Structure 1
Amino acid sequence: MTAAAGAATDDPTARGGTGTAALGTPAQRYRMLRLIRGFEELALGLVKSGVITGGIHPYIGQEAVAVGVCAALDPGDRLTSTHRGHGHVLARGVDPCRLLAELAGRVDGLNRGRGGSMHAADLSLGILGANGIVGAGAPIAVGAAWAARQAGDGRVAVSFFGDGALNQGVLLESLNLAAMWRLPVVFVCENNGYATTLPAATAVAGTAVGRAAAFGIPAVTVDGMDTEAVRTATEEAVARARAGGGPGFLECRTYRFEGHHTMERRMKLRYRTPEEVADWRARDPLPRAAAAIGEAAATALDVAVAADLAEAERFALASELPDPEGALDYLYADGRRPRAGATR
């Protein structure tokens, strides 16, 4: 399997390539929404069965943000992701077969089974890595944006993060540096209302866009349940950054339909009311995107995605588990192993 499966075609059921080529039409964007949703539902089942150990942070409900943002990027652009990052890397063009194998810790995974759910990366697609540390992707994206400006290659970097990162010093430092150097980077805050179980309204003084405005960064709040609204806002921020206008900031108001982590089901936490969840589920981005392309086209895409996910599951389960003897392989950038006795 390869990370990119060929160029986009006029056939909406054909598997697309990467970047804007795979997300250039409403049908392609709907297909990606459906792929991310189905992938997460499949992953939840594999967590329950024990195939995926350690659990995951489901992205169900937030798909419009990943698809809308990635639809506005060029193939050479770069991004950093988060602990809830499956949707980001899939929307960027990662093969679901290899991503699912990675979640299952298999040798054919995206990162040979060593990254798992929270650290998927594919440098060939400009994915500089998901990150389990809240807000830690921001300075990496700023570094990539600085490198792009130095090279003069016109690339833009995007950093995804949640509302829980708004009070992290490293994010504020990244905003400051990007603004001072007018770097081509777009900061995307996926505000789903909760940092684990802590309501953002009780933890964030002021507003998300106010954080960016304090540094002179153009910032807008977007309906994160509307793929097209996210895409339009991202296109504007990306175009400005690519033209030398400096960084941009998007606050995408969204919602996770599932808990913060799969462990939440076992813990039976109760911090959201059923009415709140139901209200947000009524704004599910998939039906809206399906309506834009028609029932027949959406149904055909649903069937095609189901086949892709069945293949992803077959591929992941057929892949071998890593040999413990190679646990230290790929640990060092130069390929060297530690000195004898160094790990004792």
Structure 2
Amino acid sequence: MLNTFTSYQLITKDISKSIDRIEQQPVVDRDTKYYLANITKVKSIDDFVKNDRLFKYAMKAYGLEDMDYAKAFMVKALKEGVSDPDSFANKLTDKRYAEFVSAFNFAANGADATIYNKTQQLVTKNYAIQAQIAGLDPNSAYVKGETTYYLANITKVKSIDDLMSNSRLYTYALASFGLDSATEDKDLIKRVLQGGVRDPHSVANKMTDKTYAALASAFNFEAYGENTTTINPAQQPTVDKYMRQTLEEDAGQANQGVRLALYFDRKAPTITSWYDVLADTALASVVRTVLGLPDSFATADVDKQAQLFEQKLDISDFSDPEKLGKFLTRFTSMYEINHPTSSAVTSVSVLFAQPLTVGISTDLMMAMQKLRF
């Protein structure tokens, strides 16, 4: 049996091929085909939760398969949506629920939740509003004709250049946000679209007029590339998440350390504070292993844990692929030392297990850890 470090390296050396192998598993392939063939037929929360096969697939994709029995709980979360900061999902500590509700956003998008795409539904809705503001009848032959043309062709657009080279689509897109294609600087619009909205310092985000950020958010080529005009989080993105979850679970059946490393690698870009780590038992377990801390350290005061992590590690390293790679190399090596492959525990429960309370005292460990490596 391969050790933790080698197994992890083999999987991540070509993650696409590793995912491809998962996709080819008969059960995975069958369930995925069923999901994609039927999810767009779902028009309500009731439709969703009553189709057990679709619902369980979606829940697993977001790492919530252990809660797929709690349908009343999930219905409440879905009904309240995520627009309100005080909604049920947003108030839950575990942010996977808010992510799930955001993907299946029936509260905001109603019957269109599983087909909603900003470049389609949002833009055409905005265009009708802008037409009315300009004194045009949204039901006029002209407005309807432009919308019909737009919807028939926007899904063929695969890049910023595609959009900007079709003057009719480009004019419609800008008009839906109250912008005039005849007077707007094309170079500026291109830079707005290229920069997207993920970076706080992108061109759109730095502009005082937030109309440009709204445009970049709708035509988010920076984030979604050629899938921008067709993507819906309930469709292929959910399938992609399902494949990644399955990859991690399969790896964990052979070596739990590999699953933890893959999980940390996936979550790392979303980590913004040490409290994010401490709120997730799996992430915290990885960090403790790297720092040589026992599981019992998890019972120490949370603020003290965060303070120690901050002293020992630079959280910004998790946003740097090279530094993250070195961190996970250390983890897989340390995990192998602590859990030799020949006697590795393969139970997936360790991912969300409660911290143990045995071994050296946390006070002593705090004192020891003041000595840097």
Q: Higher Cα Rg: structure 1 or 2?
A: 2
Structure with higher RCO (Cα < 8 A, 6+ apart): 1
What is the TM-score of this pair, normalised by structure 1? Answer: 0.28
Task: State the TM-score, normalized to the length of structure 2.
Answer: 0.26
Structure 1 or 2: larger helix share? 2
Structure in which a larger fraction of residues adopt strand: 1
